[in-house]
Every structure is written in C-alpha cells, then in structure tokens.
Structure 1
C-alpha cells in the first residue's frame, strides 16, 4: 500500500463514475481507493452511514457487479463500514421484525428506546457482541475481502461497541487483514495511545493535529488569549468551556442514557463522571475482569465519586451491563460536548478546533513531532495520515491560513480591533432592524477568522450555510432543537454586509492576500510531511488543488475532475515553472512518485536529523531526506549524511525532498 484517496460516494459519484477516475488517480500516484460506506442504505441517503441491509451492496451506487468491476480497474479498495448502528424504518427487515429487533438492537426493556448513534434517533445501535449479528452484518464484506474485491476496512465509531477489542479480534480472525479504526485519542496527560488492537492504526486525526500544531507559533499563545478576552470577554480556559458543554450534553441530550445507567446501579455522580472522563472511553472488561493501568488512570483523573470509581474498576460488585453501558455512553457525550459544541464556542484560534484536537494545546514542538513519527513507525507503520476528511471542521488549506496568523499576532490584533470599529455601523443596523439579535462578539470573531481562512468564499450561500451550522452547534443563541431564526438571519445579514463593506474590504483584502501566501507555505509543508513521514497518506477528494472547504456539507461539494485531470497532464508533460494554483498537485505527485520508486525505503526507518531551530528534517531509510521549515524565515537546511543527493522538488523553494 502506498497512498489512499478518500471518495464520498452518492447519487453524483457512483462506482461507475469512480471507475472513470481510476486512470487519473493512478497517474497521480494513488494505490488504493478509500470509499465511503457502500452497503445498502435507506432510500435517498446521501452519505451511506444509515445502512438498512448490510448483506447487499448499494443499488444506488451500482450494486455488487459494479463494485467488482471497479475492483478490477487498477486500484485497490478500502471500504468504510458502520458496525455500530443501522438505519431504522420499514426498509430494515431486522428492525421491522419485533423478535429480530429485540435480539439485534440494543433496546431498553424499561422504556422501549434506539441506544442511538450519538443523538440521532433513527440510527439504532446494534449488538455486535452477538455472534449471529456479527456474522450476518459482516458476511458480505468478508466475502468481498476473500474474493480480493476489498483490501481493507475502515471501521466507523468502534468506541460505541460493547467490546471494541473483541470485535476487532473477530474481524481479524474472519479474514480482515488490514483494518483502520476511527478512534479519537485524547491529549490527556500522559497523551492517550491506541491500544494494542489487531489493526493497522487509526484514520489519522492525531497526525492531522500534530502536523498543524508544528506550524503554529507556541509563543503567540498569550497574545491570542489576551485578544480573545479583549474582544469577547471570555476568560475561561478551553477545559472550562468543554466541561460545561459536556455536562449540558449529559444532562439534556443524553439524559435518557444517563437515566438508564441510574436504573442499573444507584450510584452518585454518574452524569458528572461521564462528562469529566479525560478520554473518550475506558476499555474495562467486566466479563474477563481485565482493567488496564490506562483505564485506572483515566478513572482517577476524572475525579469521580469513589463508589462509582470502585465499580468501574471492578472492585465492587455491579451488573456487567452497567460498566459496559457506561463505557458506551461516554464517547457520544464527549464528542457532542467537545467537538460539536465547545469547538464552536471557544474561538481563540480556529485552526486548533479540529476533530481529534485540543484547542488548549497551542502548538506542537518539533521534538514531539519527531517522537510521534518514530512511535508510529514502530507500532503502526500503516496508520492513515490525513490533513482533511469528510468530518473535519475545516479543510487543510483553511486551517493552514488561520494557523499562520500566530506568526503575525500583533498585526492580527490591530486588524481585528480595526475591523470591529469599521463594521460597528453594520452591527447597529442589524440590531436596529431585528431588535436584540446577533452577532455577539464571539460570533463576530468567528466570522473574521473564517473570512481570512476561506477567502474568497463564493457563492455567499456557502457562508450563510456555514454560519447557520456554527451557530446552532454552539447552542448559545440558537440551536438545532431550539432554532432562533431571527438571530441566525441577523448574523448572516451582518456577514453579507461585511463582505460588501468597502471600508472593511480596503483593509481586509491586502492582509488576507498576505495571509494566503503564508498559509500556502504552511499547507505545502504539511503536505510534504504527510506524504513522507511513517504512515499511509490519504488525499481527500479534490484536495490536490486549493480547497478552501468548511465543515460538511461544504466539504462534500462536487469536484471538478476534468480540471484536475488537465492539470496533472500538464505537469507530467511539461517540466517548466509550476503555476501557483498547481503547486499542491505538483508536490503530491512528486512525493507519491518517490514513494512508488522507493517502496522499501518508506516501509523502513525514520531518523530525525539535526537542523536549525524552526526546521523539521529527517531521513526515511538511508536514501530519502526531507527538510521542511515550519517557522517563517527559518533556513531550510539540515545535517544530511554525505553522498550525492538529488532534489526532487525543483519548483518549490523552501521545501526539500532529496534522494540518493
């Protein structure tokens, strides 16, 4: 395996459509397609995560015959599967049959309620611990693995399962040799590591945040904290904001899950313990008595009541079901509280508000980055490496621009304060029309960071949709369940007025242009690291050209494949100067060409090289060297072993990919 390419299948991108893309992706340097869920989903599904029949391949995508044809077109296939839940409704014969429903799905006997996937009532959790359920739901994908149609599986949300480790063992024993898990690793102290599961690694969120963090100026943290407090009045830490949001989720959205736990075991502080757990979940096994040191540390760090802690450590008697369900309940509370609430409330630096990230961790040292790479090479050398996915809050190019602001902190403060003054009349106009409505200062600060990161953002309906989602996810002035449309429309009108306000644009546009240049340097550096450090690099659909994407559905817009095909053809035919808009494509193609030519090298070791401050440099094997400045102005040099080295990135100054 050399590199994957993630595709979001749907009505506009079927198996037949993907087959037409294979020659382009193969020429780009991709070895494996990485497909979104492709089992039979409910009618009208646009994403495939609402599977209603896991025994069949989606007819809307072309059916099994078309998938098998795609498998023979020249690239391997990794398939995203959804073992935690299924879509409810009449199309799901296991759900429609009361007897099968009781056996297949995790139903509360007391209330009749769809343990759910997070807070989505029409996605019901499955009992994969039941051998019949496992065999039925996996028969088709295991058949496709045996037949060589699939080369590997990406497992969605394993933390929702009763026994993730046992599930993954069964999957390996059944013939799934290559498996990646969608697992969020906490930045707790010490940082959480992936358990010794029979997998090739995670889907790569920890790398995304590490590589972004190494391009953030840690010395700018105090300046950004002070500016955030000055503009918004928010003086709490991110940990405080996140805990508040997690407690809200435990006591509202997931109140029925918490009540179910209370009925199983009358213990104090269950909701608080779920919210305060420093990791997504523990992996205590009440059926075997296994409790790891990591589990004990996480339980202790939560500060939960001793009686509850003793039960979760299996020191006091309690129903096995209580311990299992507690561990299944903490992940959605954390995900909804942190990623889908606090990440939209705490806007100090949006580049850090990313899936699997920690906005309190302002920057990553080069030493820690090297250590993470060396650890990955040792434990999970095929771990996926991503800088954008279908679930990220912002595309890599947007995140890189916002992160670049940390290297110009003083100017950023001046600009923000000036923009607030220039746009004050617009705020007053909106408030006068609607009464007491938005934006509040935190929302206005979110807007300015978004504009700098995603400019130009066209059509403006994209900005409207993003703001609506961001405001509702924050759950401060509006929410999905309590929509305040007057507030939402006022914020959208303010944003539209801002981007048409000449005094603002006169100040904003020159600054945004400089940030874009700095952001491109950061984005290209992150990409070179992604395609050359230990792991399996993934490209999200369309991200080989500039992709100023925001959160879904913005990042799932149709891709102009003909433009990418034409750009790649031009690069391969002409060795002349590279157009600015094609620098990403040039870097990706060049790096993947080197990986294809030196497969043994990239399957081998990783050695950090001595380099000046602000430069990441390392060897892969003994014949590939990479040098990436992560600080503006840093000299791209390193202490490289002697020999004849050839530069492969001739058309990109500042970055070096050397071979000998």
Structure 2
C-alpha cells in the first residue's frame, strides 16, 4: 500500500529513537502514515547527518541502537504508523572508523573489502587527511607510529585517527628492537592473512597483554616516530600514502560523493557488495519494521537500473520505493526503473514557479543587474562554473577519463586534447547524466548525447570536432566494441557529469547569482516560466496518467531554505517597488558597517548585500525581537549560512582556498547590522517584512494544500507544520519544537485534508487530474484543478498571488469554468462542512468564501 503521507525526521543533533517515540501522538494527530527516517546506520563520530556511514549493518548506538529502533517500531506499529528508511548505497565514510575501509588501509588490494570500494588500484590508495606534506607532518610530530588504544595492530596516527600499517612492514619497524616481544610481533605479522585479520589482531593483543611489554613497545615506537628517515621509509612501504587534503583533487584514486574526500564510492553493482551493503536493510524489510525505502544519490551508481531491479526483487513489489533524483526541465525518470517515483524536488520547482509574479520578478532583476554591475548570461555563467569545477575539484577524474579514452582512441589523440574534449562534452550536458550500461545506451540516451555533441561543437574549437565525435561514438556504443575499457569510460563519464552539474549549478551559481533567492533551489531554475501554472498542470497531469507516486516535497534536509522562508520570498515579486525602496534605505542606514578591502573596495559588494537582505527576510518571522538576545541568536544562525554562501559562490573565497580576511569583513558587516543598537534598521526591517510575511502565509498554505491534493505522496519535513523559516543546513537540521501554537493554521489544514485523503484514498492515489480554467481579471492569481475517480470528485482552488498588496477592488471578478458533468452534484467544503452548489461560471470568491484556498468534494451517486 502506498503511504498516505510521510514525515521526514532528521536523526542526530538531539533527535534519537526515544525522542522520536514522543512525537508519535503528534504524527498520529496530523494523519501521517510513515515516519521517514534519515540514515540510522552507524556513522562517524559526531556525524550530524548520518550519510557518512561506517557500518551498513548496525544501527547507531548514539541513536539508541537496535533495541531503541525496535522500541520505536513497536510503538509506531501500535499507533498504525510505518517506517520509511533513507539508505545510502553509493558511498561510505573514508575513515578508519569504518571497519571495511580500515581493512583496505591495512591490507591494500588484498583486503577482502578491496573490491567493495571504487578504487583505481593501479596506484597506491591516496588518503588526503594531512594539513601539510607527510614529511612536514612527521617533523611537526602530528603523524606518529603507535598502537592506538587497545587495538591489535600498529598504525600511523594523525588527528586522532589510526591508519594501520601493512603487516609486511612490521619486520622493518622492529629490526632495531632487541627484545623478544618484537620478534613475536614480527612472527605474527609473517603468518597474518587478510582473510583472517581478526586472528592476527588477537595475537598482537595477546603478545602485548603484559603491561611491561606495552611500556617497552610504546617507548620504542615513540623513539621510532622521531626518526624522520625511518618514518618516511615506513610510509613508502604502505599500500597507501597520506597526503595533504589541498592536493586531493589531482591525486585521489577513489570515487567520491561529489567532491567530498571523506566519502568513498561503493561498488554495489557487484552482487557480493550489494548483499554486504544491504544485509541489515533486507532484515528490517523482511521483519516488517521498514515499509519503504528512499535511495540516496541514485545517480552516483554505476548502473542504477540494475541496482533498482535487484533491490525491487529483494524487497518485493509492494514496498514503497523512491529515488533521490534531480530532474531537469522536461526530463523524466527512465521508464525501466522499478520505482514509485522520486523524492520530489521537481514538485518544489513546478509549484514554486507558480507562486512568482513574473512582472515583479523582471523588475527585481533589472534592479539587481543595475546594482551588481549589469545583467549576465546565465547559460554562459553555468558553462564557466562547470569548467572551473572540473579543473579545481575533479582534475583527477578528468585525467582518469582521458587515460581511458587514449587507450581506446590511440596515441594520435593526445592526453591534453582528450581532456579538453571531455570537458567540452561534460560542460554541454543539460541534465545530470545518461544511463548507459555495459551493453550500450538506450535510444533516448543516444539522442541526448547527439544534442550534447551538437552543443559541444558550437562551443569548442573546430579542430576538436572529430575528437568529440569519436568520444561520443565510444560513449554511445556506435563505434566501439563492448569491452571492459569501453564500459569503464562510459561508467566513469556518467558518474562524473552529475557531480559537475550539482557543484557548478546548485553549489556555485545558485550562491553567486542572487537576483531572486527562492528560485535558487535544488532541482530548480533561476528563471520562472512564463506559463508556470500551466507547467504545474502538465507535471501533475503526467503524474496522474503514468501512475507516478513521487513524493510531493516542499522542503527537505538539502533545500536551500525552509518552505515558509521560500514562500515569504516569493512574495517579493508581488511588490518589488516596496522591496527595492527598502533595500535602498537599508543600504544607506548600514553604510557605516561596510569595510574597505585591500583594493579599497567596500565590502560587502552590492550582490552580497542584496543576498543578505533577502536571506534575512526569509528567516525573519522566526525572530522574536521581544526576547533577550534575539538578534544574537539570529546572528549565530546566520553566520554559518553566510560563510557557506560565500564559499560555495567561489568568487572571493572557497572551501579549498579560504580567504579569511574577506570572510571576516562580511561577517563583521552582518554582526553590525544585527547589533541590538542598530535599532533604526531593525525596526524598519521588521515593519517592511510584515506584509510580505502575511503574503507568504497565503502562499505557504496554498503550497501545503497543493501537495496534499495533487498527484503524488505528500511529504512533510520535520517541524514545517509549525512554520519553517530555516536557512540551509545546518540551520534546517536543528532540534525541532512541536509545542508551538498553530498560528498559521498549517497543522489544522494538514490534519483536515489527510482525514479526507484517508477516507477516499483512491481518488488521490489513482484519480484523474483535470486543470480548471479560470477567466476574468486577476485569473492568474489562482490555480484550480479537479481529481476524479468513480463517483468521487474533489476540486482544489489555491491563491498563488496574494491580495496583500492589492489596494483596489477589481470589477471583473475571476470565475472558474466548471465542467458541465459535475454541476448536478452537491459538494461539501472540506474545512467548513458547508454545502456547495456549483454553477457553470463559478466566481472564485463564492467558492472561497472568507478563505484564500478551498477544497470541496462530492462522494457517492450523482443527484
């Protein structure tokens, strides 16, 4: 059975299984059917999100362990709720805390887990964990040889993490140690076998059990660590090398999650690895404790369709299964994926655009361009960002691809030319990736590659045309044999285009171009469609026709801001003149806080100041100026956001090359404008934001109603039912408080519609979707549609552009063009219970009465 509605809960940061149990009555009252859990498997120490898994087959003790999870599931079952679990098949933590990874470090490719991770074993495993070079770290004493804790092995230890040395190197370590204990350790190492490493570790532990032996060994290892030449030789003997993280982009030989060095890719395309990674997941599904799965980063896998087919076979056809997949404009999920849908970013994009007043958006854009130095070509800026990301973040991956291509195309194709041609193809990609397999590519993917080739040729030097054609011929299988090298090139190419798109657009351009922040959202487009309401209808009609049961999300743990913050910011487009006049006032008021940089330019620049005011507006309703330290609390929340925004933009600073002086100037500006003494600005800001806040409430309630009634499964992010005015993570992953009054009416709306949805599930799950035409002046301010199944009919009308900034009454009232076949039915208002009789041309205000939205339904036989 499909979920009625899901509720995403972020474990960690104060949320554990016991606290989750206390939320069950609240979820039950809302009408939620599935608790949608963030990853619960054992993760690195101090993890705030759980995607850095260290053990796929144990439940994190910090959350309550297996026993705590069992208690949670039992209480959920008793309350009639189920669990949907977020799992991470693409990667694990590249940390010695991860037993599989620790084994790979100790034994290299001979480890029983050497094939579990996506490592290029043609060179030593690179571990980018140092601040400086290995030699400098040894001299500074930040890398030492020791027996960590009571571990049964020797390791090079840095920053509290132990990297086990290969047993073959024990003989080198103890060759100058004239002590029987050393001889015993060397003998144990000679007999060691990677398939029984625990036995080896047990022997080491037994040998060092006497305290006197421990003291002698520890003292010797301390002396050994002070000998730089010995430490360098020992390092060279390992199947890995410790490297500065600053050099990682050019030397790493394992696939990462995006460009995060601490997350290493898994090879779940291998059957044995697939089974090892999912052992506990399958157990939880088989026991009935887990009823649905969310697959993280499906685009990272070598063969998503193969993976999903195996997964579906193991969990059964009735389990709810969705994938985290960013669909670009016009893109659809591959039809052969056996899933119920996506995690719903396309719903955020489609519904969000419909809440924007396009004329107001244009006015804001012109003003932003005037202030920030002129309009820009977004397509060109995207291309520039992709090239920068490829060169600075994915240099090693690009080199590996060019090496494979050279093997296939021959020595006439130089490595440099191949890198340039590959870069041109990746830059031209309009979507995250293609889904070719070892056999070849689907006709749709071949067609897509043809478009990419055309665009790449237009942007490239003409001399590269033949090389681009040759590369595409290999990728699409039209000119190359089916062999391992062809598959390796196709696989690695497909696993790279997605991270480049994500890092260049979502994590660069979306923080660099600040015209209208609410559209700079995961899976979104920075330019709203002129026919945004029609686009929403098209997406929902397609969902209904194809049986797409994707989540309908309005916020996730990865969105750039909370759903109510975004709704408020949509309202800026309704009154751009008010907003722009305010920005001019605030900029003048806060001039004293701007600081000259070394080039005598005032910071923040106009674009960054524009970003600050918009982002502040989005979170402002969560600030109670009447409370002590209110602005201090806001500042502590806003500074991490601002730091992230600056570094992701990569204009003046970045994660890899932090410009501390620049960041400090911007942070001092923020702290200054939010100082309690800056009352003129704070009071003006608060009064200016108030009408936008009211307009945002209208939009937020409409967005909530749309996701409750439109095709798809309504998804709620933790705490959003009380108003979600958060910033990007870590702000949106803070502890949630559910004891707040329902001032917005959001909880009541959710509970009312979910009761109706539960009463007549068929119409919401498999009913048709019919847009209702609205005519008359102001018709574009509303969105309406009908769902129909057998004798059940529902009609939803939502306000997209609020009345908060409209001062005169319009004469030509908008009307709903109702289908003739339903006019004889008597409808009931889902909220008031009043009877509603429809007319062919139904005035919107008659339908809504005193509200800004309505949902009516008719059940049973026609009158």
Range into which the TM-score falls when normalised by the shorter chain: over 0.9
- Partners of 2:426 and 2:314 lie apart in 1 by 34
1:178 maps onto 2:184 in alignment? no
Greater CA deviation, 500-509 or 388-397?
Answer: 500-509
Q: CA deviation at 1:157?
A: 0.3
Show CA shifts across 1:94-148 (max 9, x none). 2222323421111112343231111111211011111000011112111211111
Question: Per the alignment, in what secondary structure is the counterpart of residue 104 of structure 1?
Answer: coil
Structure 1 11/350 Cα, relative in aligned 2: closer, same or farther at 3 Å?
Answer: closer
Structure 1 432/313 Cα, relative in aligned 2: closer, same or farther at 3 Å?
Answer: closer
Query: Would the aligned equivalents of 1:405 and 1:412 in 2 still touch at CA under 8 Å?
Result: yes
Partner of 2:115: 103
1:51 maps onto 2:58 in alignment? no
Structure 1 185/165 Cα, relative in aligned 2: closer, same or farther at 3 Å?
Answer: same
1:296 aligns with one of 432, 442, 447: 447
Query: Would the aligned equivalents of 2:92 and 2:264 in 1 still touch at CA under 8 Å?
Result: yes
Show CA shifts across 1:488-545 (max 9, x none). 1211221232234344345433221111111111111111101110110111000001
Show CA shifts across 1:32-86 (max 9, x none). 0000011222232221111111122222222223223322223110000000001
Query: Would the aligned equivalents of 1:627 and 1:636 in 2 still touch at CA under 8 Å?
Result: no
1:628 maps onto 2:798 in alignment? yes
Query: Would the aligned equivalents of 1:107 and 1:114 in 2 still touch at CA under 8 Å?
Result: yes
Q: CA deviation at 1:335?
A: 0.7
1:461 maps onto 2:461 in alignment? no
- Partners of 2:360 and 2:71 lie apart in 1 by 53
Question: Per the alignment, in what secondary structure is the counterpart of residue 403 of structure 1?
Answer: helix
Question: Per the alignment, in what secondary structure is the counterpart of residue 455 of structure 1?
Answer: helix
Partner of 1:515: 692
Q: CA deviation at 1:155?
A: 0.2
Number of equivalences: 639
Q: Which has the larger radius of gyration?
A: 2
Q: CA deviation at 1:11?
A: 5.4
Partner of 1:571: none
Q: CA deviation at 1:395?
A: 0.7
- Partners of 2:580 and 2:44 lie apart in 1 by 49
1:477 maps onto 2:652 in alignment? yes
- Partners of 2:539 and 2:119 lie apart in 1 by 41
Partner of 1:16: 18
Question: Per the alignment, in what secondary structure is the counterpart of residue 816 of structure 2?
Answer: coil
- Partners of 1:24 and 1:609 lie apart in 2 by 35
Question: Per the alignment, in what secondary structure is the counterpart of residue 269 of structure 1?
Answer: helix
Show CA shifts across 1:268-306 (max 9, x none). 511232222111001122x22233224422452352322
Question: Per the alignment, in what secondary structure is the counterpart of residue 361 of structure 1?
Answer: coil
* Structure 2 unaligned regions, length at least 5: 126-252, 407-417, 457-467, 624-629, 804-809, 833-848, 859-863
1:645 maps onto 2:827 in alignment? yes
Question: Per the alignment, in what secondary structure is the counterpart of residue 60 of structure 1?
Answer: helix
2:368 aligns with one of 220, 225, 228: 228
- Partners of 1:510 and 1:582 lie apart in 2 by 19
Query: Would the aligned equivalents of 2:382 and 2:509 in 1 still touch at CA under 8 Å?
Result: yes
- Partners of 2:696 and 2:815 lie apart in 1 by 21
Question: Per the alignment, in what secondary structure is the counterpart of residue 627 of structure 1?
Answer: strand
Partner of 1:194: 333
Partner of 2:477: 314
Query: Would the aligned equivalents of 1:616 and 1:630 in 2 still touch at CA under 8 Å?
Result: yes
Partner of 1:404: 571
1:218 aligns with one of 332, 348, 358: 358
Q: CA deviation at 1:437?
A: 6.2
Query: Would the aligned equivalents of 1:35 and 1:77 in 2 still touch at CA under 8 Å?
Result: yes
Query: Would the aligned equivalents of 1:200 and 1:382 in 2 still touch at CA under 8 Å?
Result: yes
Structure 1 426/66 Cα, relative in aligned 2: closer, same or farther at 3 Å?
Answer: closer
1:92 maps onto 2:98 in alignment? yes
Greater CA deviation, 292-301 or 331-340?
Answer: 292-301
Partner of 2:534: 367
Question: Per the alignment, in what secondary structure is the counterpart of residue 374 of structure 1?
Answer: helix
Greater CA deviation, 127-136 or 218-227?
Answer: 218-227
1:601 maps onto 2:763 in alignment? yes
- Partners of 2:598 and 2:499 lie apart in 1 by 39
Q: CA deviation at 1:433?
A: 11
RMSD: 2.1
Q: CA deviation at 1:435?
A: 6.3
1:656 maps onto 2:656 in alignment? no
Query: Would the aligned equivalents of 2:387 and 2:423 in 1 still touch at CA under 8 Å?
Result: yes
Partner of 1:331: 498
Q: Give runs of aligned pairs for residues 614-625 of structure 1, distance below 5 A.
A: 614=780, 615-621=782-788, 622-625=792-795
Question: Per the alignment, in what secondary structure is the counterpart of residue 103 of structure 1?
Answer: coil
Question: Per the alignment, in what secondary structure is the counterpart of residue 638 of structure 1?
Answer: strand
Structure 2-normalised TM-score?
0.71
Query: Would the aligned equivalents of 2:436 and 2:445 in 1 still touch at CA under 8 Å?
Result: no
1:83 aligns with one of 70, 86, 89: 89
Question: Per the alignment, in what secondary structure is the counterpart of residue 661 of structure 2?
Answer: helix
- Partners of 2:289 and 2:113 lie apart in 1 by 31
Question: Per the alignment, in what secondary structure is the counterpart of residue 115 of structure 2?
Answer: helix
Show CA shifts across 1:561-601 (max 9, x none). 3x15xx4xxxxxxxxxxx6x241122112221211222122
Q: CA deviation at 1:151?
A: 0.6
- Partners of 1:48 and 1:437 lie apart in 2 by 41
Q: CA deviation at 1:399?
A: 0.8
Greater CA deviation, 471-480 or 641-650?
Answer: 641-650
Partner of 1:492: 667
Query: Would the aligned equivalents of 2:597 and 2:662 in 1 still touch at CA under 8 Å?
Result: no
Question: Per the alignment, in what secondary structure is the counterpart of residue 721 of structure 2?
Answer: coil
Greater CA deviation, 145-154 or 640-649?
Answer: 640-649
* Structure 1 unaligned regions, length at least 5: 568-578
Partner of 1:344: 511
1:587 maps onto 2:752 in alignment? no
Query: Would the aligned equivalents of 2:356 and 2:528 in 1 still touch at CA under 8 Å?
Result: no
Structure 1 415/18 Cα, relative in aligned 2: closer, same or farther at 3 Å?
Answer: same
Structure 1 174/226 Cα, relative in aligned 2: closer, same or farther at 3 Å?
Answer: same
1:452 aligns with one of 614, 617, 620: 617
Partner of 2:596: 431
Structure 1 355/194 Cα, relative in aligned 2: closer, same or farther at 3 Å?
Answer: same
Greater CA deviation, 607-616 or 114-123?
Answer: 607-616
- Partners of 1:371 and 1:214 lie apart in 2 by 12
Question: Per the alignment, in what secondary structure is the counterpart of residue 531 of structure 1?
Answer: helix
Greater CA deviation, 104-113 or 124-133?
Answer: 104-113
Structure 1 221/582 Cα, relative in aligned 2: closer, same or farther at 3 Å?
Answer: closer
Question: Per the alignment, in what secondary structure is the counterpart of residue 645 of structure 1?
Answer: strand
Structure 1-normalised TM-score?
0.93
